[in-house]
Structure 1
Amino acid sequence: MSKKEALTRATADLLWERGYTGTSPAMILERAQAGQGSMYHHFSGKAELAVAAMVHMGDQLRSRMEGALAGEESAVARVNAFLDLERDPLAGCRIGRLTQDHEVVTDGVLRAPTAEFFTWVGGRLSEVLAEGVRTGELRSGTDPDVMASLIIATVQGGYTLARAHQDPAAFRQAIEGAKQVMANLVAN
């Protein structure tokens, strides 16, 4: 693994564990087992490295999510596969947790990868749901964009509930609620 990749991966892990504000360049260098010169050879500073790490995290998550959302199954089956992806509810969402960091949300450059990620997820879910409406699987009045937002909010809220209660069951309950909503959208 190159030093640039080691720095990016170390930063991604630290951002998930500690957030942007709680992650220092010294922590990144220690985790990546890299010298200060390596960091500044590849990146202008912490912010540029954090953006690279966020893009890396988003790419990994997109790959997993696309695996669930692609395929020939019904729209409901694909959305349920997305909802059933293996997650660590107590660790929280790698990208969603960063939206709680003041420095991230107040800096357009740092916020951009999180916004782009959630735009992609919403768009991809909306595509699957729209296909379900077109094929008659889902009720004709179903608004794919609204439902995609609800699904994302449920997953992110499930993480929040699980972390607040320190109980993964709270996440699973939220996911089951979303699956019930999906089942109720099936055309009769």
Structure 2
Amino acid sequence: MNKSIEKLITTTQALLWERGYVGTSPRAIQDRAGVGQGSMYHHFRTKAELAQAAEERSAAELIEEVRALLDAPGDPLDRVLTYLRRERDVLKGCRIGRLAADPEVVADPALRKPLEHAFGWITERLAALLREAQDCGRLPQEWDAQSLAATVLAVIQGGYVLARAANSPAPFEQAIEGLIALLTNNATAED
């Protein structure tokens, strides 16, 4: 990949995570990337086009990080718990989830698509593991795995919001531990 394109995408990824779409100006991207306006617009016609490329990269990276945890060997419920407990920069928030609060991102189907893709993939993978945990007798059969997977993702994303509002990771950690307690207190021993 062209060095300027790489700088533009990685810089935009960082700025979107820090400032959101609205708060990320083309000038800020150019200044931080050390790339001139002509070069930026040679590779990307608009800020939205560059942001979409950065979002797609961030979504792919997040999916790969989550895939490494969820596709690891071992008990399916334990893999979900490992995902819940994975180390995160809680106060920075989710690099994808933060963008879902940005009205311009939500209003633009092309900018929203990488978010939908990442969250959809994670939800489906979690649902599959939760169904496996049910098949192994680790979770009650009557639970809807798809709804439970959506709950897992909602607790994580909501935990980020609560932590940022409190300027403390404590609300995030409390939400995660609460969900883990619900899952493990309802888990049954393997036969």
TM-score (norm 2): 0.94
Aligned residues with identical type, % of pairs: 45
Aligned length: 188
Note the C-alpha offset of 1:38.
1.7
Alpha-carbon distance between aligned partners in 2 of 1:132 and 1:107, rounded to the nearest angstrom? 37
Note the C-alpha offset of 1:95.
0.5
Q: Match of 1:166? A: 167
Deviation readout 1:143-180 (Å, 9 max, x if unpaired): 11011011001001110111111111111111101111
The code of the aligned residue for 2:10 comes to R
Q: Match of 1:114? A: 115
Alpha-carbon distance between aligned partners in 1 of 2:140 and 2:73, rounded to the nearest angstrom? 19
SS at match of 1:44: coil
Alpha-carbon distance between aligned partners in 2 of 1:52 and 1:85, rounded to the nearest angstrom? 26
Q: Within 5 A, what are the aligned runs for 1:15-30?
A: 15-30=16-31
Note the C-alpha offset of 1:136.
2.1
Alpha-carbon distance between aligned partners in 1 of 2:63 and 2:117, rounded to the nearest angstrom? 11
Q: Match of 1:39? A: 40
Alpha-carbon distance between aligned partners in 1 of 2:21 and 2:72, rounded to the nearest angstrom? 36
Structure 2 residue 100 is matched with structure 1 residue 99: yes
Q: Match of 2:177? A: 176
Q: Match of 1:135? A: 136
Alpha-carbon distance between aligned partners in 2 of 1:165 and 1:100, rounded to the nearest angstrom? 17
Q: Match of 1:54? A: 55
CA RMSD between the two structures: 1.2
Cα pair 1:142 1:185 within 8 Å, conserved? no
Structure 2 residue 128 is matched with structure 1 residue 88: no
The code of the aligned residue for 1:61 comes to L
Cα pair 1:89 1:171 within 8 Å, conserved? yes
Runs of 4+ aligned structure 1 residues displaced above 4 Å come to none
Note the C-alpha offset of 1:67.
1.2
Alpha-carbon distance between aligned partners in 2 of 1:146 and 1:184, rounded to the nearest angstrom? 18
Q: Match of 1:5? A: 6
TM-score (norm 1): 0.96
Alpha-carbon distance between aligned partners in 2 of 1:72 and 1:54, rounded to the nearest angstrom? 29
Note the C-alpha offset of 1:137.
2.2
Note the C-alpha offset of 1:28.
0.5
